[in-house]
């Protein structure tokens, strides 16, 4: 009997708890690995993705602060690769430890992943994804004049650079990832949504953009023929009327019902909406697929149907 294949998309809380030091983030990943091993023990074929928002923002800030002729700042796509390698290395180590502790004979590998985007994607005409530190209006306008970067005022907290967030159309390493998972390996990939690239005249060109991790996870699930997409976030369920007196947790729901809630504007654009959209797209991509949205702490309960939001066709 074929083992079910699951893509697990880790949210930012799986990596960082407020302390940006390497030690603190590795400690957070120890706890994450202890949760993940419970799913691995059930016999699933596992592919893992993760966010990188705070980490890539910090790397970008380091690049800006050290920019000089001797140490020129690296572009955003390269900063994304740095963060993907860094987090992948940490998570590799922690999963290895729990595999050995539980005497599970599996290998774990992290892959720096390139995600293909369309250079004509409308997102490039409307940068919307905030990255990096906050600036005063004067500092932001100076950088816009000097570099051509786009900055916007962000909810009264200052000015931030915004970059495009294009839709992923393919994952260049998907055949390698599928082959590794087929052979029983645990694969960490598409970190931070992957590194956005596009093709031009036979070349692959990295772009200053950020791909949403949930959309990249969904695309990976399709390409490696996963059965389940599990998106782990900061809440146990998806809610309608969130933070209102009539708030209600969604447990099991059909794609059509979820689409109705999406049309009603029930889910925040920069928060739950991308997760719900990715889940719906995955379930619709092939009969028999399902998606689960829950917290890291309740992941194993959600697998058994005791918690979380399950989206089915």
Q: How far apart are CA 249 and CA 14, in angstroms?
A: 22
Confidence of residue 16 (pLDDT cuts 50, 70, 90): confident
> Which of 11, 129, 132, 308 is flagged as catalytic?
129
pLDDT score at 119: 95
Confidence of residue 1 (pLDDT cuts 50, 70, 90): low
Q: What CATH number corresponds to the domain at position 234?
A: 3.40.1160.10
Give yes or no for residue 215 having a pLDDT over 90. yes
Q: Is 259 a catalytic residue?
A: no
Q: With H, G, I as helix, E, B as strand and everything else as coil, classify residue 55.
A: helix
More confident residue, 121 or 55: 121
> Which of 51, 221, 275, 308 is flagged as catalytic?
275
Is 56 within a domain? yes
Residue with token string 């799913």: 39
pLDDT score at 133: 73
Q: Do 263 and 202 meet the contact criterion of CB atoms below 8 Å apart?
A: no
Is 144 within a domain? no
Domain with 306, as residue range(s), is: 226-313
> DSSP E strands: which ranges in 43-118?
45-50, 108-110, 114-117
Q: Is 129 a catalytic residue?
A: yes
- Helix, strand, coil percentages, rounded to 5, for the chain: 40, 25, 35
Q: Is 13 a catalytic residue?
A: yes
Q: How far apart are CA 54 and CA 195, in angstroms?
A: 16
Q: Tell me the Ramachandran region of residue 175: left when phi exceeds 0, alpha when psi lies from -120 to 50, beta otherwise.
A: alpha
The mean per-residue pLDDT over the stretch 221-236 comes to 97
Is 103 within a domain? yes
Residue with token string 């599928």: 178
More confident residue, 67 or 6: 6
Is 121 within a domain? yes
Is 142 within a domain? no
* Among 213, 242, 274, residue at a domain's last position: 213
Residues 298 and 243 in one domain: yes
Q: Is 213 a catalytic residue?
A: yes
Give yes or no for residue 39 having a pLDDT over 60. yes
Residues 111 and 29 in one domain: yes
Residues 119 and 242 in one domain: no
Residues 196 and 282 in one domain: no
pLDDT (tens digit, 9 = 90+) per residue, 241-252?
A: 999 999 999 999
* Among 213, 245, 279, residue at a domain's last position: 213
Residues 106 and 250 in one domain: no
Is 27 within a domain? yes
Counting residues of the chain whose pLDDT is more than 90, the rounded percentage is: 81
pLDDT score at 287: 96
* Among 183, 213, 243, residue at a domain's last position: 213
> Which of 11, 213, 221, 308 is flagged as catalytic?
213
Is 135 within a domain? no
Q: How far apart are CA 109 and CA 180, in angstroms?
A: 9
Give yes or no for residue 87 having a pLDDT over 80. yes
Give yes or no for residue 270 having a pLDDT over 80. no
Q: Where are the alpha helices (DSSP H) in 6-75?
A: 22-40, 53-65
Within 10 angstroms of residue 289's Cβ, the number of other Cβ atoms is 20
Q: Is 58 a catalytic residue?
A: no
pLDDT score at 57: 81
Is 247 within a domain? yes
Residues 207 and 273 in one domain: no
The mean per-residue pLDDT over the stretch 59-68 comes to 89
Residues 184 and 81 in one domain: yes
The mean per-residue pLDDT over the stretch 146-170 comes to 88
Residues 183 and 50 in one domain: yes
Give yes or no for residue 47 having a pLDDT over 90. yes
pLDDT score at 11: 87
The mean per-residue pLDDT over the stretch 82-91 comes to 96
Mean pLDDT of the chain: 93
Instruction: Provide Rg for the chain, Cα atoms.
Output: 19
The residues that bridge with 288 in the sheet, in sequence order, are none
Domain count of the fold of the chain: 2
Q: Tell me the Ramachandran region of residue 82: left when phi exceeds 0, alpha when psi lies from -120 to 50, beta otherwise.
A: alpha
Residues 17 and 57 in one domain: yes
Residues 56 and 92 in one domain: yes
Residues 240 and 179 in one domain: no
Give yes or no for residue 107 having a pLDDT over 80. yes
pLDDT (tens digit, 9 = 90+) per residue, 112-157?
A: 999 999 999 999 999 988 887 788 999 999 989 988 889 998 767 8
Residues 115 and 252 in one domain: no
Give yes or no for residue 48 having a pLDDT over 60. yes
């Amino acid at each position: 009997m074929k083992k079910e294949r699951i893509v697990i998309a880790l949210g930012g809380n799986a990596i960082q708890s407020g302390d940006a030091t390497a030690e603190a983030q590795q400690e957070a990943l120890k706890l994450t690995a202890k949760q993940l091993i419970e799913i691995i023990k059930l016999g699933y074929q596992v592919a893992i993705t993760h966010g990188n928002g705070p980490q890539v923002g910090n790397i970008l800030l380091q690049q800006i602060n050290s920019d000089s002729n001797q140490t020129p700042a690296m572009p955003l796509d390269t900063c994304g690769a740095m963060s993907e390698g860094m987090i992948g290395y940490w998570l590799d180590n922690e999963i290895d430890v729990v595999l050995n502790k539980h005497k599970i004979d599996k290998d774990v590998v992290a892959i720096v992943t390139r995600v293909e985007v369309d250079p004509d994607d409308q997102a490039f005409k409307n940068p919307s994804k905030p990255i990096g530190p906050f600036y005063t209006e004067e500092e932001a306008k100076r950088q816009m004049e000097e570099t051509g970067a786009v900055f916007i005022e962000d909810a009264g907290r200052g000015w931030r650079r915004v970059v495009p967030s294009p839709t992923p159309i393919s994952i260049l390493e998907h055949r390698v990832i599928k082959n590794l998972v087929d052979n029983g390996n645990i694969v960490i990939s598409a970190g931070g949504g992957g590194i956005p690239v596009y093709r031009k005249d036979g070349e692959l060109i990295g772009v200053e953009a950020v791909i949403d991790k949930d959309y990249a996870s969904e695309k990976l699930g399709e390409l490696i023929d996963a059965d389940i997409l599990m998106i782990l976030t900061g809440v146990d369920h998806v809610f309608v009327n969130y933070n209102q007196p009539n708030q209600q947790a969604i447990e099991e729901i059909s794609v059509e019902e979820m689409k109705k809630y999406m049309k009603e504007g029930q889910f925040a654009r920069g928060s739950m909406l991308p997760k719900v959209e990715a889940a719906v797209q995955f379930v619709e991509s092939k009969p028999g697929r399902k998606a689960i949205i829950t917290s890291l702490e309740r992941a194993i309960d959600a697998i058994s149907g005791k918690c979380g939001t399950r989206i089915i066709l």
